[in-house]
Amino acid sequence: MVLLSNFTLAQEKKGIGDLVSGVLDIGRLEFLFGSGADNQVIGFIRILMAVLVFSILYFGLSVIPNLPRNIAITIGILLALLTALFMPKQVLVMFGETYATIFALIIIGGPIAGVMALCFFTPTPNRGVAFVKFLAVCFTMWLISQINVWADALAGATGVI
Of 87, 115, 140, the last residue of a domain is 87
Instruction: Judge whether 129 lies within some domain.
Output: yes
Q: What is the pLDDT of residues 118-149, one digit of tens each?
A: 888 989 899 999 999 999 999 889 988 988 88
Residue 105: what pLDDT? 87
Same domain, residue pair 111 and 137: yes
Instruction: Judge whether 131 lies within some domain.
Output: yes
Residue 155: what pLDDT? 76
Residue 48: what pLDDT? 87
> How many domains does one find in the chain?
2
Same domain, residue pair 24 and 64: yes
Residue 84: partners with Cβ closer than 8 Å, 6 or more residues away: 27, 46, 47, 49, 50, 53
pLDDT along the chain (161 residues), means of 10: 42 67 69 61 83 93 91 93 87 86 88 87 90 91 87 72 53
Instruction: Judge whether 160 lies within some domain.
Output: no
Same domain, residue pair 69 and 113: no
Of 37, 60, 87, the last residue of a domain is 87
Same domain, residue pair 101 and 67: no
**Residue 159 DSSP code:** T
Instruction: Judge whether 4 lies within some domain.
Output: no
Q: Which helix (H) or strand (E) holds 134?
A: helix 127-158
**96 neighbors 119 (Cβ within 8 angstroms):** no
Structural domain including 123 reads 89-154
